[in-house]
Amino acid sequence: MQRLTFAVVAMLAMPAVADEAPWVGDARQIATTMPPKMMQVLKDETAKGGSAHATIVCREKAPIMAKSISEQSGWNIRRVSLRVRNPKATPDAWERTVLEDFDRRAAAGEDPATLEKSELVADGDKKLQRYMKALPTQALCMTCHGAPDKLDSDLTEQLQKLYPDDKATGYRPGEIRGAITMNRVAP
């Protein structure tokens, strides 16, 4: 009986990829390869000039990386958050709903690293394929997104200069900091 229960629980925990549209796998692949590349660039820039210098990664290099991947893949890719640092990362209504759902699911015990959402959405006379994958706060993220009183003073000064309305601090490791969001017109 225990084996049967374990098998049923294991099956329920598995994603329903059999019913999944092929475009979802494409989106997932892109969304899971981009963050490690960004983290490596962030580590490199931090090593070169410290955390204040590393703000160049999220401010300038990440959008360039997203644009490059967008051009190669045909997806519109960006990062969004409920606690915005850069106003360009403000979620639209669909993204806000998904981010709020991610937060509820994480609070209920789901692993933030596994949270994703895909949906075919009507947009006027066309359909959009929309996909989001949660971005949990990693140890390196805490350097710029951790408790405000723990941030390096040079970094704090840099953030105030670049982002006077910054809301993106006070995160804890593993907490959802935002998401990668992707969309494209459905064929």
Domain spanning 21-185: which CATH class is it, in words?
alpha beta
Tens digit of pLDDT for each residue in 87-103? 999 999 999 999 999 99
133's torsion region: left (phi>0), alpha (psi -120 to 50) or beta?
Answer: beta
Tens digit of pLDDT for each residue in 72-86? 999 999 999 999 999
Give, in degrees to the nearest 5, the angle at Cα 97 between 95 and 101: 115
The set of residues, in sequence order, having a beta carbon less than 8 Å from that of 140 and lying 6+ positions away, is 39, 42, 43, 46
Tens digit of pLDDT for each residue in 31-50? 999 899 889 988 998 888 88
| Tally of CA atoms within 13 A in the half-sphere of 151 that contains its CB | 22
- Sheet of 176-185, strand order: 76-80, 176-185, 126-136, 116-123
Question: What is the pTM (predicted TM-score) of this model?
Answer: 0.85
